Amino acid sequence: MTYISVLFSVAFLIIGFISGWFICEKYIALMEHERHDFEELFEQNPHPEIFTETGEINRGDYFCIQFEPGYDPSDFSPDDIVDQ
């Protein structure tokens, strides 16, 4: 009877150690994950042009261009460019 208790104790110790290590690695990866500035856009409305050839979302560098309402591109002049 003592051998069975020792066998189960060692087995559960090993299983507990391995599962704890696995869960700890997943938790650390979750805590160290840095969200992209446009992560909400990637989740809500992923445009086809941001996907790579393998179907993954390219989380590279992006920039945003905003036009004022009623802006006519035919009236463009270089003075219209404003850094924000």
Buried b (16+ CB within 10 A) or exposed e, 11-29: eeeeeeeeeeeeeeeeeee
Q: Check: pTM over 0.75? Answer yes or no.
A: no
What is the structure's pLDDT at 12?
Answer: 95
Q: Can you tell me the distance from the alpha carbon of 41 to that of 47, in angstroms, rounded to the nearest whole number?
A: 9
Instruction: Give me the number of domains the chain comprises.
Output: 1
80 domain-assigned: no
Instruction: Determine the structural domain holding residue 43 and report its residue range.
Output: 2-71
76 domain-assigned: no
On the question of pLDDT at 8 being above 90, the answer is yes
**pLDDT, average across residues 1-14:** 92
22 domain-assigned: yes
Please write the tens of the pLDDT for every residue from 15-65: 999 999 999 999 998 888 777 667 777 777 777 777 888 888 777 777 777
Residue 83 confidence class, pLDDT cut points 50, 70, 90? low
